[in-house]
A and B are shown apart, each in its own frame.
Chain A
Amino acid sequence: MTGAGPAHCTGCGRVGADCPRAGRCTGPYDPPRYCNRCGHRLAVHITPTTWKAHCRTCAAPSPSHT
Chain B
Amino acid sequence: MTIASARASLARAGTALIEDRRRLTANELAVLAALPDEAVPSLAALAHEVRLAWCGPGVEVEGILSAKTGGCPEDCHFCSQSARFDTPVQATAFLDTDEVLQAARETAALGATEFCIVLAIRGPDERTMARLVELVPLVHDDTGLNVAVSAGMLGPGQARRLAEAGVHRYNHNLETARSFFDAIVTTHTWDERRTTCTDVVEAGLELCCGVLLGMGESHDQRLELIGQLADLGPVEVPVNFLDPRPGTPLAIRRPVRPLDAIRWIALFRLGLPAVILRYAGGREVTLGQLQAMGMTSGINALIVGNYLTTLGRAPEADLAMLVDLHMPIAALTGVV
Contacts and interface: CB of A to CB of B under 8 A. Distances in A.
Contacts of A47: 65, 102-103, 106, 305-306
Contacts of A37: none
Contact of B89 (A11, A33, A48): A33
Interface centre among A30, A45, A47 (most CB of B within 10 A): A47
B90 A48 contact: no
A45 B99 contact: yes
Interface stretch (B24-32, B193-201, B307-315): B307-315
User: How many of chain B's residues touch chain A, expressed as a range?
Assistant: 20 to 34
Given A46-B309, A48-B103, A48-B304, A12 B110 contact: no
Contact of A46 (B66, B246, B304): B66
A48 B106 contact: yes
Interface in B273-297: 284-285
A48 B115 CA distance: 10
Contacts of A27: 285
B-side binding surface: helix, strand, loop or mixed? loop
A12 B86 CA distance: 11
A44 B87 CA distance: 13
B102 to A, nearest CB: 7
B63 interface: yes
A44 to B, nearest CB: 7
B78 to A, nearest CB: 16
Interface of B: 63-66, 69, 88-90, 92, 95, 99, 102-103, 106-107, 110, 112, 243, 246, 284-285, 304-313, 315
Given A45-B95, A47-B102, A48-B103, 17 more contacts: A11-B88, A11-B246, A12-B88, A25-B246, A27-B285, A29-B312, A30-B310, A31-B310, A33-B90, A41-B88, A43-B90, A43-B92, A44-B92, A46-B306, A48-B64, A49-B107, A51-B306
17 contacts: A29-B284, A29-B311, A29-B313, A30-B310, A31-B310, A41-B88, A41-B90, A44-B89, A44-B92, A45-B69, A45-B99, A47-B106, A48-B64, A48-B306, A49-B106, A49-B305, A51-B306
